[in-house]
Amino acid sequence: MDTFIEFFSFSDPSIVSVVIGAVLLTASSAVVGTFTFLKKKALVGDAVAHAVLPGICLAFILSGTKNPIWMIIGAFITGWLSLVIIDHITTKSKIKEDTAIALILSVFFGVGILMLTNIQHSGNANQTGLDSFLFGKAAALVGQDLIIFAVVALILIVTVALFFKELKLIAFDSHYAKALGIPVKHLDLLLTSLTVLAVVTGIQAVGVVLMAAMLITPAAAARFWTNDVLKMTMIAAILGGLSGLSGAYVSFVAPSMPTGPWIVIIISVLAIVSFFIAPKRGILARSVQQNKLKQQILDENLLKELYHLGEKDDDFYRGRTVEALIEERYFPKQSLKIGLRRLKRQGFLSQRDGKWCYTEAGKLKGQRVVKLHRLWELYLSKYMKIAPDHVHEDAETIEHIITPEIEMELERMLEYPELDPHKEKIPY
């Protein structure tokens, strides 16, 4: 608890700089990542993260110093170059995008490693710590880094804010954007530059491999909570910032723990939790919905089969046994019984000496399903010119989702028909 208070009171200036640095970085890369995610180019961040290595080495060889400004310029150039080459290979040859990304990513990194080892073996005493660019040293952020991070984060966020509408448009429909006269190519270039900038600065904190996560994961998590791009961007920034903060806290509590990987683990956990529990799009919400739909389909099918049985002997309210129902149409026995009991609870069925029979409401509901089925069959064979023996399957699914409005429209269009294509009576 003491460490918790010590950390979150921010009384130690070195804690403040680490926290501010980590939060600024993670939040601003999450903002940029939202757009690469929406453009389905999430893995491009990974490519850039690897491609900056030769640039960093080159900057060191040429300048002879580890001045972060030079490093960033060098990294920016090769990072940018990698994306241009990936784009060129994808558009100009038969090689697909994923291969191009994997190829450029690994080749640039290989070249970088060759240069790095060459520098290390050259005996230049100045080079020690150059490989911290590979693995990240978030816990060792100092004042100068912080200023750079803050400036970069500000540039990223302000640029995205200024071009928000245009970026949103090209993320979803670049053809439409082009038709509106928006300079799509320039905006693509802008997004590329922002991505490279985010990666280049972020790498110093979390390292090469994990930088990709800073771009992808917050956006992926945020996508599950909203359909609105503005909200998504904000949620991604908040989740990213939160993981930056907690990552810094973990490495404060356990100094031997690497900050970067902890940031990634925390944001990944947040993302996976989102995948499961998010309303509407989450796995749980979706399976609840599916179950509901399955139940509804089963219930409606049961009522429909009771109607069919009633049609046969012209007695809709007679009690039917479970076996009779199964004989009319196969239902798994267990779910059949559950469904019958549910329908009884809802007042559509009643039970008499072990047999099931319609209530008034049940008959109406069963009748409506049969009607919809037959109307749809007629519609398909009349308007879609589909042979009568091919329409059943389709009607079987559509009957459960036709709304009263469509029902009325169908009736009107077909002029309240008497018979379906199989010459069966359509009940009203």
Partner 1 sequence: MDALYIILTSSLFAIACGLLGCFLVLRKMAMVGDAISHAVLPGIVIAFLFTGTRDSFEMIIGAGLLGIFSTFLIEFFHKRAKLQTDASIGVTFTSLFALGVILISVFAGQVDLDQECVLYGEIAYVPIDLWITDSGTNLGPRALYISSITLILIILFIRIGFKQLYITTFDPAFAATTGVSVALWNYLLMGSVSMTTVAAFDSVGAILVVALMVAPPATAYLLTDNFKKMLLITSIIAIVISILGYYLAVMLDGSIAGAVVTVAGIIFGIVYLFSPSNGILFKRMAQKREAKNLAQKTA
Cα R_g (the chain), whole angstroms? 32
Q: Which stretch binds partner 1 (CB under 8 A): 3-11, 189-197, 256-264, 410-418?
A: 256-264
CB 295 within 8 A of CB 303: no
Across-strand partners of 425? Answer: 419
196/340 with CB nearer partner 1: 196
CB 40 within 8 A of CB 171: no
Long-range contacts, stretch 223-232, CB < 8 angstroms, 24+ apart: 223/37, 223/281, 224/274, 224/275, 224/278, 224/281, 224/282, 225/274, 225/278, 225/279, 225/281, 229/34, 229/38, 229/168, 229/171, 230/164, 232/34
Of the two residues 124 and 351, which places its CB atom closer to partner 1 in the complex?
124
Binding-residue pattern over the window 64 to 103 for partner 1, x denoting contact by CB under 8 A: -------------------------x--xxxxx-xxxxxx
Q: Which is nearer to partner 1, 196 or 264 (CB)?
A: 264
Among 164, 275, 316, 317, which residue interacts with partner 1 (rule: CB under 8 A)? 275
Nearest approach, Cβ of 71 to partner 1 (angstroms)? 19
| DSSP letter string, 282-311 | SHHHHHHHHHHHHHHHHHHHHHHHHHHHHH
140 lies in the binding site for partner 1 (CB under 8 A): no
What does the per-residue mask of binding to partner 1 show for 20-59, with x meaning CB under 8 A?
Answer: -----------------x--xxxx-xx---x---------
Min dist. Cβ of residue 171 to partner 1 (A):
13
DSSP line for 113-179: HHHHHHHHHTT-GGGTTTTHHHH--GGG--HHHHHHHHHHHHHHHHHHHHTHHHHHHHHH-HHHHHH
Q: Shortest CA distance to 25 belongs to which of 192, 147, 165?
A: 147
In the complex, what is the shortest distance from the CB of residue 109 to partner 1, in angstroms, rounded to a whole number? Answer: 5
List the one residue from 20, 27, 115, 375 that touches partner 1 (CB under 8 A): 115
Q: Which x/- pattern over 198-237 shows residues binding partner 1 (rule: CB under 8 A)?
A: ----------xxx-xx-xxx-xx--xx-------------
Question: For partner 1, which is the closer residue by CB, 122 or 334?
Answer: 122
Q: Which residue has the tokens 């984060």?
A: 153
Count of residues that interact with partner 1, criterion CB under 8 A: 68
| Interacting residues with partner 1 (CB under 8 A) | 37, 40-43, 45-46, 50, 89, 92-96, 98-103, 105-118, 121-122, 131, 134-135, 208-210, 212-213, 215-217, 219-220, 223-224, 256-258, 260-262, 264-265, 268, 271-272, 275-276, 281-283, 286
